[in-house]
Amino acid sequence: MKRFSFVGWLLTSLAVASAAQAAPPASPGQLIFQKNCQRCHGKDGRLGRNGAHDLTKSNLNAFGRTYLVTNGMGKMPAFGKTLSPAQVEQVVAYSLTLR
């Protein structure tokens, strides 16, 4: 009986661990997006506030987006001073998932 409950415990722990993996918390890129981009681009990238472009329709690739986010353009602020290059990379990768 003792052995059975140990197996039960093991299975429960594994189930909890894999459930945690199946629903990961927001990715770093998503958090950066929520903090820095959402007020103009919106949660799903479509908001277009302050003349922002719909990110789901953007044809810019990762290279172009990295340049734009780092240096800004028009009313789009530059994030090169606020975000590290690694953070820019993460938020750009996240923006590419918005479709």
98 scored as a contact of ligand HEC (CB under 6 A) = no
How far, in Å, are 5, 6, 65 from residue 1 at the CA level? Answer: 6, 9, 60
Query: 77 Cβ partners below 8 Å, 6+ apart?
Result: none
Write the CA distances from 96 to 66, 68, 71, 79, integer angstroms: 11, 14, 18, 17
> Is 16 near ligand HEC (CB under 6 A)?
no
| Structure tokens given for 27 | 């990715």
Residue of 58, 66, 70, 93 interacting with ligand HEC (CB under 6 A): 58
User: Could you say which of 27, 31, 40, 89 contacts ligand HEC (CB under 6 A)?
Assistant: 40
Q: Which is nearer to ligand HEC, 8 or 72 (CB)?
A: 72
Task: Point out which residues bind ligand HEC (CB under 6 A).
Answer: 36-37, 39-41, 50-53, 55, 58-60, 65, 68-69, 73-77, 79, 91, 95
